[in-house]
Amino acid sequence: MGKPIGSRVAARSGVGFLMLVLLLAPAALAKDATPRVLLLFSHDRLLPANAELEEGFREGIGRHRDEVEIFAEFLDVVRFPERSHAESMTRYLRERYAGQPPDVVVAIGPQSIGFLAGHREQLFPGTPGVIAGFTNRDLIAAEPITEVAGRPMVWTIEPILDEIPKCRSDIRRLHLIAGAAPFDQQRLQDALKVCEATDSGLAVTTSVGEELSSLHDAVARLPRNTLVVYLSYFLTPGGATTVPREVGSELAASASVPVIGLFDTYFGDGITGVCAASFRDEGIAAADLVSRILAGEAPDSIGILPPAEPRFVFDARQLKRWNWDPDVLPAGSIVRHRTPGLWEQHRGAVLGSLAVLLVQSSLIGGLVVTKRRQTRMAQALRRSEARFAGIFAGSPSAVAIVRQSDGRTVEVNPAWESTTGIPRADSIGRTPLELGFVIEGDSEQRFTEFLKSGKPLRNYEQAFRAPDHRMLTLSLATELVELHGEPCYVVMAEDVTGVREATEARRQLSRASRLAQLGEMTAAISHEVNQPLAAILSNTEAAEMLMAQDAPPIDEVRQILSDIRRDDLRASEVIQRVRALVTRKETHFEPIAIGDLLRHSVELIAHEVKRRGVAVEFDIVPGLPPVTGDRGQLEQAFLNLIFNAMEAMAETPVARRQITVSAVVESADRLRITVGDRGTGIDDGNLGKIFDSFFSTKEGGMGLGLALVHSIAELHGGRIGAENNASGGADFHLTLPLQRS
């Protein structure tokens, strides 16, 4: 049967004489054969869940065995749902694995399990299977399958309905989101059933099979008392395939309320939390099962294990964004990306010394003590006071003590003075409002409410106007304690103005840096495209050979043509994705002060400019009229020119590395931006080609940067051109139409 003689699987298939062969086979031979495992995924290679599961699988296998050869194949059912695809996959797998059949097949996802059930006899007869990435219901619905072991997952919103109302009574409504693929729809049906069966008191609304643009609009307008539950979105109603994780991140960015996802792969990029079992853990569990089978257990004797239960995982950064107190999460929640806050970092020292102080002072007040004891106590109190004073004064965190009764500041430490810029003498006796804290709305009333509530604050960002009129963002942590019988707030403050700005800059830069990512993705993309291209080539050759026969087998040729078509579609899919990466989905035109945009864009990459030792000179005529354009795209175009200029000056001596950015009105209705450098310049022969896609003279260059600038210029009704300049470098001119008044 073509299997290595050492295969334990063959032995377990129950065929007596094979057992005999095995028993008689030299032991060394049996040991030497490296077991082969085939992972058969339902979806495509780029799906994050697949990557996670495979990673977990590899990690899990590594725990048990030194050598296992792992193969991975992808049925890609969303993009190729037709029956004929299953047939061509069968043919492909049969041919591919004829010489090296797997010892165990791991089917991942319901479609793959169905495929294995239907085609195992043809493809891998007698080979044991492991199944993963499925629910119990999938199993009931699927064709019966034997000789498999597996562990189901539970994808359910049940814990959300059970737990969220307990910790967030202000949330009154769940908004469920699903795409148009059958898998998406199934998730929605499941979720709706759970909603019907659960008396959570929450209203349920849905956005189902909507186009992404209207979905974005819908989630941006949700009322505050809503929680979005993002289920799955593999397919748009127009038939375009999507990566659910990416859709989730984009939705989370536009949503007016927090988004909770149903799969753990959605986590980390904008979603507030997930309620899910981990795909990585599923991979590890599948690997455990595979190694048990490789060690001789029969899959049927292992059977279907109890499922892994979903758990809540929250992103601390998002909780902060939504002012969601991390102390009011469902029990057992995991919080990731948590940076210890001010209070957490210093509470031990501050509260510890306060506690000593308070306990001792109350002992003194409350007890009738002998004179001697009293003296001892008074000394201890002084020591403790001194210790507290030492911690208070020496603390690197800005600390103030504010009386609860009237909100007046009782004491501040030196770090508070330097953070706020207000001398101690000026702070004492004044309220935070008088000191420059800017509370929106009716600030007096809100401050009084806060004082009365006695609530602690954690990492609460508050605007503050320093005496020199600079606006700072302070992150505050407060705790109500009793000091000498008087309730007071200990307030710790940290200046996070720089962090805020950096986060904002990073957010804005991320759009521009999508292009930079392209470089890194080149290798992966070319691999993805090369594979179908190679298949197309060999299929074409095979077809030519068949056609050269006297009586060409037309059916076979037709089949080959359909394979070619499939591979071609696959290659163009990959290219579509690259395109989606570099072009923004929607274009939003608005009047733009170009000088500000240019300066601002360079600020975004100030660090990189500095690292490369480049000076950027601006020569922008003041009072330029605005242009009409899409801010993000113009930024991207301009940053591409700047990056190219910096790259062209890599060999220029540092003292000469200068980029000049100028903007002038070129004619009555046009404005011209010029980016000039002192780099290598452009070979005359290349001047006509540099704006072509994929033209690059750089090692590893994609040749897409200028092509993109060209399309952005065109989209704006403008032009881009290049020429060499007197300094030996290149000048790039981008002309844009002025806003019509």
Contact residues: ligand ADP, CB under 6 A: 644-645, 648, 677, 679-682, 690, 695-698, 701-707, 730
Kindly report the length of the chain. 741
Sign of CA dihedral 491, 492, 497, 501: negative
d(CA 686, CA 648): 14
Q: How far is the CB of 610 from ligand ADP (least distance, A)?
A: 19
Cα dihedral sign, 438-440-442-444:
negative
Beta carbon nearer to ligand ADP, 329 or 602: 602
What single letter denotes the amino acid at residue 76? D
Q: Residue 452 burial (CB < 10 Å; 0-12/13-18/19+)?
A: exposed
- Rank residues 696 and 711 by Cβ distance to ligand ADP and give the closer one: 696
Q: Strand 589-592 vs strand 129-132: parallel, antiparallel, or unpaired?
A: unpaired
Q: How far is the CB of 705 from ligand ADP (least distance, A)?
A: 3
- Tokens 């953070």 locate to 419
Closer CB to ligand ADP, residue 242 or residue 636? 636
* Smallest separation (angstroms) from ligand ADP to the CB of 722: 7
Give CA separation, 346 vs 83, 459, 491, 494, in Å: 63, 13, 12, 12
Q: Measured from the CB of residue 707, what is the shortest distance to ligand ADP in angstroms?
A: 6
Q: How far is the CB of 697 from ligand ADP (least distance, A)?
A: 4
Structure tokens that stand for 397 in this block: 């965190």
At 257, is the secondary structure helix, strand, or coil? coil
In the complex, the smallest distance separating the C-beta of residue 716 from ligand ADP, rounded to whole angstroms, is 18
Tokens 């994808």 — which residue? 155
User: Min. distance of Cβ 541 from ligand ADP in angstroms?
Assistant: 33
CA dihedral 94, 96, 99, 100 (to 10 degrees): -100
The one-letter amino acid code at 319 reads L
For residue 536, what is the DSSP state?
H
CA geometry: angle 379, 381, 385, nearest 5 deg? 120
**Residue in the block written with tokens 């279907």:** 304
- Please give, one letter per residue, the 3-state secondary structure of 604-657: HCHHHHHHCCCEEEEEECCCCCCEEEEHHHHHHHHHHHHHHHHHHCCCCCHHHC
CB of 574 to ligand ADP, least distance (A): 18
Comparison of 231 and 602: residue with beta carbon closer to ligand ADP? 602
**Whole-number minimum distance, CB 5 to ligand ADP, in Å?**
53
In the complex with ligand ADP, which residue's Cβ is closer, 206 or 696? 696
**Whose Cβ is closer to ligand ADP: residue 241's or residue 680's?**
680
Q: How far apart are CA 72 and CA 654, in angstroms?
A: 49
CA 107 vs CA 71, 83, 362: distances in Å: 12, 18, 68
Q: Is 369 helix (H, G, I), strand (E, B) or coil?
A: coil
Closer CB to ligand ADP, 707 or 713, in the complex: 707
Separation of alpha carbons 417 and 422, rounded Å: 5
- C-beta of 215 vs 682, nearer to ligand ADP: 682
Residue 704 beta carbon to ligand ADP: minimum distance, rounded to whole angstroms: 6
Q: How far apart are CA 94 and CA 2, in angstroms?
A: 12
Nearer to ligand ADP, 634 or 702 (CB): 702
Closer residue to ligand ADP (CB): 473 or 696: 696
The answer to whether the beta carbons of residues 689 and 702 sit under 8 Å apart is: no
Pairing of β 259-261 and β 273-276: parallel
Residue 732 Cβ, how far from ligand ADP at the closest point, in Å? Answer: 7
Q: How far apart are CA 610 and CA 687, in angstroms?
A: 29
- What's the min distance (Å) between Cβ of 674 and ligand ADP? 12
Residue with smallest beta-carbon separation from ligand ADP: 705
Report in angstroms how near the CB of residue 683 gets to ligand ADP at its nearest: 8
Query: Which run of H or of E encompasses 535?
Result: helix 497-547
Unique residue bearing structure tokens 């009574």 = 169
What is the C-alpha separation between 184 and 234, in angstroms, rounded?
A: 7
Phi, psi of 689 (to 5 degrees): -110, -20
Closest contact distance (angstroms) between CB of 690 and ligand ADP is: 4
The least distance separating ligand ADP from the CB of residue 734, rounded to whole angstroms, comes to 13
**CB nearer to ligand ADP: pick between 662 and 696:** 696
Measure CA 525 to chain center.
20
Nearer to ligand ADP, 39 or 659 (CB): 659
By C-beta, is 48 or 679 nearer to ligand ADP? 679
Strand partners, 492: 399, 477
Q: Which is nearer to ligand ADP, 482 or 723 (CB)?
A: 723
Q: Which is nearer to ligand ADP, 77 or 708 (CB)?
A: 708
Cβ pair 314, 272 in contact under 8 A:
yes
Mapped to the 3 state alphabet, what secondary structure does 208-250 carry?
ECCCHHHHHHHHHCCCCCEEEEEEECCECCCCCECCHHHHHHH
